[in-house]
Chains A and B, each alone.
Chain A
Amino acid sequence: MKERLIFGYDPFVLPFTLGMVFIILYLLVGTVRIILALDDSERKLILKSFFPLKLFKSIKDIILDCLIHVKIFKKNPLLGYMHSSIAFGWFMLIFIGHIEVMIYTPQRTGVLYYPVFFRYFVMETHETLRGSFFFFLMDLSLLLVLTGIGLAIFKRFRSKALGMRRTTKLRLGDKIALYSLWAIFPLRLLAESFTANISGGSFLTISINHLLNAFVTNPDYILPVWWAYSIALGLFLFALPFSRYMHIPTEILLILLRNAGIKSSMSRNGYAESEIYSCSRCGICIDDCPMTVQKRNIKFSSVYFIRLLRRRFDESINTADKCLMCNKCVEVCPVGIDSTRLKLLKRQEEYGKSRTNYDYLSTIEYSKKRADNVLYYAGCMTHLSPAIYKSLFKILESAKIDYTFLDSDGSICCGRPLMLSGNLEGAKNLIKKNRELIKASGCDTLLLSCPICYKIFNEEYKLKGIKVVHHSVYINDLVKSGKISLKKSSDSYVFHDPCELGRGSNIYDEPRELLSNSGVVKEASKERRESICCGGSLGSLTLSYNDREQITKASLKALLENDPDKVVTACPLCLKSFSPYNSKPTIDIAQIISEQLINS
């Protein structure tokens, strides 16, 4: 193997080289911008994350997420293969390309374009086992990428075959990048095949070379094909920052920052910027967003919200206000972008000044007797369905547990709805007051029947020494410890995971375990982390009644898939949303259990 051209240069490398220089500078500036926007404590976290153990985890995550795409494999194997074949194959082409340069033309190490156009610049003098090994690997990687590209083109016409019903609409930048990406690898194959009788090749390039020789014998055709290959690469690199493919380089930074323990604190800058640029606009969140049961609401899904943020458009607040905050898009996102948090931050930033006045809070005082160990807080929503707490009290009495009902005469809200609306200060007022009331009671367990309350009590209240527990978990513990016993009925149930309890607080198994004590638990077509919001979510501010109705119906359809006798939920809000539209009874988990109690 030796160099064919003395200077190791030909003008055709220019489009690629310029593109590469452009993108490297762009990424450098971007990284510096992001790091400058972080505050000091966050930068310290980054420094700490470079210790071996954490670094090892980051490298593992980068390989699994950026090269192998494990998360997409879980979504759909074919879709996963498409992504990982392109990503991994391309990486191998670059990686082995560099090794080839280091071994055969060490004087060119570090020349930007050399590994990419290696086969143009070298000629094979004699065949060696090592040489044919590398050539074989290169051809194999190229074949891998080509199969991925083939699938990608197929997906454009029939995305359903790869498990995606809808995908995002492309913009001009996306289109240029997409079509040049499609062109890069077939052109590379053609270019390397043309030169295969000079530079050598392997099973793919040599065979095509023989085939080509039957048609084209003039070696002058070699150069135009290499030019085309370089131009396709250059176009792709120049279009990259203005397209969805920017996620290829930026996801690495995102993983590093995330593993350092950084979270977004602004909706557009700092960590959020790395999230926004890492969004590949794959559109997986479109199919999963509950709002998209209506076609006209597709524009409010997370992927378009992030695109609006990226372009710094003011409309992004309208999308943020529409969102149900059910967190499903975050669960299914293959990149792991916390778009719900971005929406919340956007709401907080836009909240600005409006007239609120919570002075009346100071007049509220704890008026009950000193509480027993268990303090029950119903919250606003449970007060709309008193059957829930009445059933719960029946269970507590059966278990001979003394309890105090904190808000029997009504009380102030937990603060989560106010927080979701973007009014952080107002929410803090409510949290402060509620904390005072709970501390004054002297309880050691705070029992809640509303997942919305549960989430905020758990995350924001910081009640030291007080156990915050949701009633589905609490009753399950009572059954497990033998304090209450249940008779089994012949009913079958389906359990609806409330957003704030399931995805919000990671409680999936306890309610099902509890239900299985009193009947048969059937599966819904979408459940656990993929459960569909009931449509009543307080997360959405501007979603209309009619839109919510459609979501409720879609969610019920998924729940009734296996024809259960009853729909069981553990959230008073879900109960209220389902009841009017459900052909089967909708019941809270506490009501089911209280009916099956065996009184000793």
Chain B
Amino acid sequence: MVDFGYSLSPSSRINLDNFDQGRLTILSKIEPDLIKCIACGSCAASCSAANFTKINLRKVILLLHRGLDNEAVSLIEGCMLCGKCTLVCPRGINTRNLIRSILKTYKEV
């Protein structure tokens, strides 16, 4: 077959059998603001650590909801808790503590 440079995008299907919602439930209880996120990406845009790592809180929240825990947590391991994302969040989410809670809740993945 001729390769035109296009291909099917990989499936983004979530396998619910492998997705343990337990920790997400715990996290939502500690951080009820989690559902307030509108995925605007301000946090990621302002991040100090993003100069050096792939840190991206918007993506982390997305990945956690998709059950990709390990991938999610490895994204924010390098957070320096400087608090810039909290200041810029238009929804007033306490992102700083959200990150702390994620790192605590998902410490073993």
Residues on A facing B (Cβ under 8 Å)? 321, 353-361, 363-364, 380-381, 383-384, 409-413, 415, 417-418, 421, 423, 426, 430, 536, 538, 541-546, 573, 576
Contact = CB atoms under 8 A, between A and B. Distances in A.
Contact of A356 (B48, B77, B82): B77
Given A321-B97, A355-B107, A364-B52, 8 more contacts: A355-B73, A355-B109, A357-B74, A411-B48, A413-B48, A541-B100, A546-B92, A573-B83
B52 A412 contact: yes
Contacts, number: 92
Contact of B52 (A354, A356, A363, A576): A363
7 contacts: A321-B97, A356-B79, A381-B83, A384-B46, A412-B49, A413-B80, A417-B83
Contacts of B87: 381, 384, 536, 573, 576
Contacts of B84: 380-381, 383-384
Q: Name the residue among B48, B49, B74, B103 with the largest chain A CB count within 10 angstroms.
A: B48
A360 B51 CA distance: 10
Q: Name the residue among A383, A413, A415 with the largest chain B CB count within 10 angstroms.
A: A413
A456 to B, nearest CB: 12
A394 B87 CA distance: 27
Contacts of A359: 78
A360 B96 contact: no
Interface string B74-109: 100111111110011000111011001001101101
A361 B48 CA distance: 12
A495 to B, nearest CB: 22
Contact of B51 (A356, A409, A415, A546): A409
B21 interface: no
Interface string B42-71: 000010110111000000000000000000
Contacts of A423: 81
A409 B52 CA distance: 11
Nearest to B91: A545
A114 B33 CA distance: 66
Contact of A354 (B33, B83, B96, B100): B100
Contacts of B83: 380-381, 417, 538, 573
B37 to A, nearest CB: 13
A423 B104 CA distance: 12
A421 B83 CA distance: 11
Contacts of A546: 92
B94 A545 contact: yes
A426 to B, nearest CB: 8
B78 to A, nearest CB: 6
A199 B74 CA distance: 83
A546 B91 CA distance: 11
A457 B106 CA distance: 32
Contact of B107 (A354, A417, A426, A541): A354
Nearest to A353: B107
A417 B81 contact: yes
A312 B51 CA distance: 43
Contact of A413 (B46, B77, B82, B100): B82
A357 B81 contact: no
A436 to B, nearest CB: 15
